[in-house]
Structure 1
Amino acid sequence: MKRYAVRVFYEGKGYYGYQRQLEKRTIEGTIIQALEEIKYINSPEENNFRSASRTDKDVNAIGNVFSFNSEKNIILEELNSVLPKDKTIACWGYSEVEMDFSPKYSMWKKYWYIISKEFLETNSSMTVDKIKAVSSLFRGEHDFSLFCRKDHRKTTRKLDKLIVIEQENRIIFEFLANSFLWEQIRRITSYILNFDTLSKELQNTKKLLQTQTSVNALNLEPASPKQLVLVEHFYENLSWLISKRTKESILKKFETEILKLKQRENLVNSAHKFFFDLG
């Protein structure tokens, strides 16, 4: 018996989110069905199937991770052959890991939130310089209770990185942290893009990030999930075997389906660089 970690690309459109649900088409459910079809697993329970991130409906991913135990040796081409023919899900790398490995406990996670400059000019009065200035206030450890959809977890988090990458025709918000709260990235992005429309009290970002703030709610809708991309989970001391054929297929899919913006080359080059850095 061996345990594998697998890196997976998916396009969120057309699925009811990542997490498996009864009688609904989900990313995780589709992956489990494929693993069972080729006898890699008997069931998710018996083979200790685990996932790193359970992204919301319409969120995309380049590098989410799942793991499972199997008696068989993994062959990515075999696994991809029983995944959707439209290539909305594709597994492109794997690593043999310890039997107690859980993909949930990565050292850090990276997300991109992508908007076109045309969208910015049409929907926001914020300049790129203003966006960068407000974004810088979120870096570090804060109470993000006003910038998440609350669940049972504590709302204090450390945001290691939030940078704004300006390209010819788009802006990328790059987030990096050990963990994120539910809708945290989308709510931070919405706040930044709507900053100029907020009251003076709500423009006091530092106060909003304090535990003892007097503000109860921002009353802002989270930014659309369709522009959110889970880029990577990073694990120390893991080496990945990467399928070159699948990688090239993913880059093509990334360009044609997710990045439906004019002059896409710069962002596609960013995706190329991501894969190049992996080796």
Structure 2
Amino acid sequence: MPRYAFRIEYDGRPFKGWQRQAELPSVQGTVEAALARLEKDIPSIAAAGRTDTGVHALGQVAHADLQRAWEPFRLAEALNYHLKPAPVAITACAEVTEAFHARFEATWRSYTYRMISRRAPLVHEAGHAWGVRGKLDVAAMAEGAKHLIGKHDFTTFRATHCQANSPVKTMDKVEVEEIPLPAGTEIRFHLKARSFLHNQVRSIVGSLEHVGSGAWAPDDIARALAACDRAECGTVAPPQGLYMTGVGYPEDPFAHGWSEA
């Protein structure tokens, strides 16, 4: 059975997360239903990460074993046709070896969180960013984010029901970007690590918002981190601002397939 890798983009608003759930809409279930229109008895697909309810993706990666050989471009085109009208799209497709696994072979994952600072409610970006009233100190948030780089015990920034074996993770990047808008300012948080704990990104962003608003000093991020206590975490940012942006592998699985870019 040939194995295919897919890069998947989706709007998380209609879904109860990536993982298939009985009688609830999920991204995995939607993609598997589209695959079933092409071939019967498709095994369950595997993804690099399980995004939560309302979380979006620009660069989720998944793989599936099919019964027949497909030209990657034709497979992507067929899947995109059957995915309509769901807000899900295949943006890259390639045949890979049986050794490739979207989750276990991944060497890093990246996320971006979008926050928009302005007094007026969000209109076009509603459901795609966190609207925060009032001006935020971006430089202070960037200073606080530096405390999170490297290997740490992230218990403070971990959901209480997280199933990871260890709270210790190595953060390769936590950057804060400021983008002026016609009305307000967009602040983007870019994070990269081999893997993340459940709610880790949203917990970090919510705590950095406390720094930006002046409720915390930048060094309070270090204090909260060192406490290894979930009670020391700031507000958990809402899911609608979070995007899974990419997944890295020892070799690019789409180098010899079809890709939009």
**Residue 251 of structure 2: aligned partner:** 237
Change (3 A) 1:70 1:214: closer
Q: Give structure 2 stretches of 5+ with no counterpart.
A: 120-129
Contact 1:124 1:193 in 2 (8 A): no
How much has 1:209 moved relative to structure 2? 2.2
Which of 135, 148, 168 lines up with 2:145 in the alignment?
Answer: 135
Partner of 2:9: 9
- 1:97 corresponds to 2:96: yes
**Unaligned ranges ≥5, structure 1:** 245-274
- Provide the rounded CA distance (Å) in 1 between the counterparts of 2:131 and 2:21: 39
Aligned residue number for residue 197 of structure 1: 215
The 5 A counterparts of 1:1-279 are 1-39=1-39, 42-45=41-44, 49-72=45-68, 73=70, 74=72, 75-86=75-86, 88-105=87-104, 106-118=106-118, 123=133, 126-150=136-160, 151-153=162-164, 154-169=166-181, 170-195=186-211, 196-198=214-216, 204-210=220-226, 213=227, 215=229, 217-218=231-232, 220-240=234-254, 241-244=257-260, 275=261
Letter of the 1:56 counterpart: D
Deviation readout 1:42-70 (Å, 9 max, x if unpaired) = 1325xxx2111110011000110111111
Q: How far apart are residue 224 of structure 1 and its match? A: 1.0
CA contact (8 A) 2:59 2:244 kept: yes
Post-superposition CA distance 1:201-258 (Å, at most 9, x none)? x953323323xx37551264310110111001111222423354xxxxxxxxxxxxxx
SS at the partner of 1:185? helix
CA distance in 2 between counterparts of 1:4 and 1:58 reads 26
Question: How far apart are the structure 2 equivalents of 1:228 and 1:239?
Answer: 24
| Structure 2 counterpart SS, 1:174 | strand
- AA in 1 matched with 2:42: S
Aligned partners of 2:55, 2:132: CA distance in 1, in Å?
Answer: 23
Letter in 2 for 1:217: A
* Percentage of matched positions with identical amino acids: 26
| Whole-angstrom distance in 2 between the partners of 1:66 and 1:122 | 33
- Normalised by the length of structure 2, the TM-score is 0.83
Higher relative contact order (CA 8 A, sep 6+): 2
Counterpart CA distance in 2 for 1:121 and 1:30 is 29
Change (3 A) 1:214 1:18: closer
What root-mean-square deviation, in Å, do the aligned CA atoms of Structure 1 and Structure 2 show? Answer: 2.3
| 1:224 partner letter | P
**Aligned-partner Cα distance in 2 for 1:69–1:6:** 11
Equivalent-residue separation in structure 2 for 1:134 and 1:242 (angstroms) = 40
Q: Distance in 2 between matches of 1:208 and 1:85?
A: 44
Query: Paired residue for 1:263?
Result: none
Query: Which is richer in helix?
Result: 1
Pair 1:118–1:183, CA change in 2 (3 A): same
TM-superposed deviation, 1:117: 3.3
Structure-1 separation of matches of 2:147 and 2:259: 39
Give the number of equivalent residue pairs.
236
